[in-house]
Amino acid sequence: MVKNMISLIHILKEGKYDSIVNELSKRIFKTIHKSYGYYIKNKKDIFKSFLYPIINNEKIKVIFNITRNIELRNEYFINGETVPYRNSSLIIINLELNPNYEPKVYTSVSHEIANVLRHEIEHVTQNQENAETKDHGINISKSILKQLHRQFYDKIDEEYYDYFLQSDEIPAFVSGFYLKAKRLKVPIDILMGDFLDMFIVDNRIDIKQKENILIHWTKYIVKHYKSAIFSQ
């Protein structure tokens, strides 16, 4: 009975978080479309959008930054960051787009935005549960500038394996992949494997490390996401 109650609570929480992600994604895409029109007209843009979702009865500040770069090697690059801010949390989502691929890349971008948002919302809930979390007193304007120039791939190679296995990152990665798998209707292990393969190609992790990461992520999924679908 207790296990059933825990499962029900988890399902209700996931439904709530999915709704928050869907609403934020819609608002972010309005900004993307608006900024694209501005870019076509002016050939330049740095757009910011300030959003205020409610998570666990707490108002969270979300900053969405978008820039366009025709020299970007890939179609787009997206990353996120969550930090304590004024006794709450601040989520920063950065999207860099190659305008040569717009708007055909939007479907892929929409799924990744949802993935990153769900990942960062998991960190928000972790911050809320951690009574010792201290406010960084972060200056938003400086943070934006810093984050725009911060690339996920700037990490030292040796950090990746440990990073993917950090106790706070496993729930965040899994929650993002779980939502993306539901939206795309594909097995979650396929998404996770494809994601980690990118880091193998870049020589950031090796095959054995990938396998161990997947073991840890899968254990968490089996325990917390009973409805997750695997390829086998």
Asked whether residue 137 carries a pLDDT value surpassing 70, the answer given is no
Percent of the chain scored above 70 by pLDDT?
Answer: 77
- Residue 10 to residue 174: CA distance in whole angstroms: 14
What average pLDDT score do residues 153-163 get?
66
Q: Which among 153, 172, 195 is the end of a domain?
A: 153
- Element (H or E) spanning 96, and its range? strand 88-97
Res 129: pLDDT: 62
Closest C-alpha to 114, from 66, 190, 182, 206: 182
Give the range among 66-70, 110-114, 135-139 with minimum mean pLDDT: 135-139
Domain coverage including residue 215 = 155-232
Q: Which among 105, 132, 153 is the end of a domain?
A: 153
**Residue 46 and residue 129 in one domain:** yes
**Residue 87 and residue 125 in one domain:** yes
Res 5: pLDDT: 36
Res 114: pLDDT: 92
Asked whether residue 199 carries a pLDDT value surpassing 50, the answer given is yes
**Residue 48 and residue 114 in one domain:** yes
Average pLDDT of the chain, as a whole number: 80
pLDDT band at 13 (very low <50, low <70, confident <90, very high): low
**Residue 130 and residue 171 in one domain:** no
**Residue 143 and residue 28 in one domain:** yes
**Residue 13 and residue 100 in one domain:** yes
**Residue 144 and residue 51 in one domain:** yes
- Residue 70 to residue 96: CA distance in whole angstroms: 10
Res 110: pLDDT: 92
Percent of the chain scored above 90 by pLDDT?
Answer: 38
**Residue 149 and residue 204 in one domain:** no
- Residue 229 to residue 168: CA distance in whole angstroms: 23
Closest C-alpha to 120, from 30, 47, 42, 28: 28
**Residue 162 and residue 100 in one domain:** no
Asked whether residue 178 carries a pLDDT value surpassing 50, the answer given is yes
Give the range among 45-54, 96-105, 147-156, 185-194 with minimum mean pLDDT: 147-156
Q: Which among 122, 153, 184 is the end of a domain?
A: 153
- Residue 11 to residue 165: CA distance in whole angstroms: 24
**Residue 74 and residue 186 in one domain:** no
- Element (H or E) spanning 189, and its range? helix 188-201
Number of domains in the chain: 2
Cis peptide bond prior to 187, omega within 30° of 0: no
